[in-house]
Structure 1
């Protein structure tokens, strides 16, 4: 059986040099799904791009999403014809897109898709994420049918969180199959 390909789904503004997604891309050869516009993310465009990339894969895929990428997974799963290729998903630090002070560039994401995902998923949340309370993250996990993992006080679980290439996250994504 073919090993699954890990697709990296960064959030708004992409993932920078020290981010665990970038390190996974460098160290493990994972494929970053490049969006056409990282600064003005249009939900329909992002969904279309993810669908294109999933369809291009000759092997099953695992999705490793960060921040707005988590909402991309939920929105894409609600409309995709390629769900059979997905073995599982790692959803890390989903933002609370319904917050009143959410950036205006992201207004098209303000109504999150809250349907259960049709594949196994793990959601990792921090107790001090500035973009989402732990309670809101637990709510997303419940709606999406994802196993909730509390990583403690690690902020937005990005480069500033000091995780390096984050072996615990890597183990979580690989165990979703």
Structure 2
């Protein structure tokens, strides 16, 4: 796979990704990067978020790698469970970072309309990056979500929600996981050929 032919689509979570968030840094750093822009970052509505992700994927014919964070991961999973197969084929893979467990006790009310979380395997290769001290999803739940989605999982130690508050402004280490995802995509393509 040649990176110059791939479009990277950044899928932020609840409240968006501020200028100093690693997703914004990656948006500026990766070739052919675009970002899903939701109409309402503070009061997310599942159908509206899925519709905007659908529009963003459909708007560009290039093969796409999704780079999602938090509620953005759950949006990707909901989208994949209901959208047309031809658009699934456009998505080569997804990096799902710190997925938000919207089924957890004390989940913020604004996120509860994203429950239940779809448990079907994703139709493209994916990699889940979780944390053993993420307030939005325990390590056990992150692993469980990855297992349900057919994703490879990596649970990091002590990195919180992998956002600005946990010290992840540029998150250079994350590029290693993106590279690992590309390898997974390449292996999947070879098996499917």
Question: Could you state the TM-score of these two structures normalised by the residue count of structure 2?
Answer: 0.86
**1:53 aligns to 2:50 (yes or no):** no
Q: Considering Cα pairs closer than 8 Å and 6+ residues apart, tell me whether 1 or 2 has the greater RCO.
A: 1
**1:84 aligns to 2:86 (yes or no):** no
1:167 counterpart SS class: coil
The list of structure 1 runs, each at least 4 consecutive aligned residues, that deviate by more than 3 angstroms after superposition, is: none
Partner in structure 2 of residue 73 of structure 1: 76
Gaps of 5+ in 2: 186-193
Partner in structure 2 of residue 25 of structure 1: 27
Alpha-carbon distance, 1:58 to partner: 2.5
**1:12 aligns to 2:14 (yes or no):** yes
2:77 counterpart SS class: helix
Alpha-carbon distance, 1:170 to partner: 2.2
Gaps of 5+ in 1: none
Alpha-carbon distance, 1:57 to partner: 1.0
Q: Is contact 1:12-1:41 (8 Å) kept? A: yes
Alpha-carbon distance, 1:150 to partner: 1.7
State the number of aligned residues: 177
Alpha-carbon distance, 1:17 to partner: 2.1
Q: Is contact 1:127-1:150 (8 Å) kept? A: yes
1:155 pairs, out of 160, 163, 167, with 160
Partner in structure 1 of residue 141 of structure 2: 136
Question: Could you state the TM-score of these two structures normalised by the residue count of structure 1?
Answer: 0.94
Alpha-carbon distance, 1:35 to partner: 0.6
Q: Distance in 2 between matches of 1:104 and 1:161?
A: 23
Alpha-carbon distance, 1:167 to partner: 2.8
- Segment drifting more, 80-89 vs 159-168: 159-168
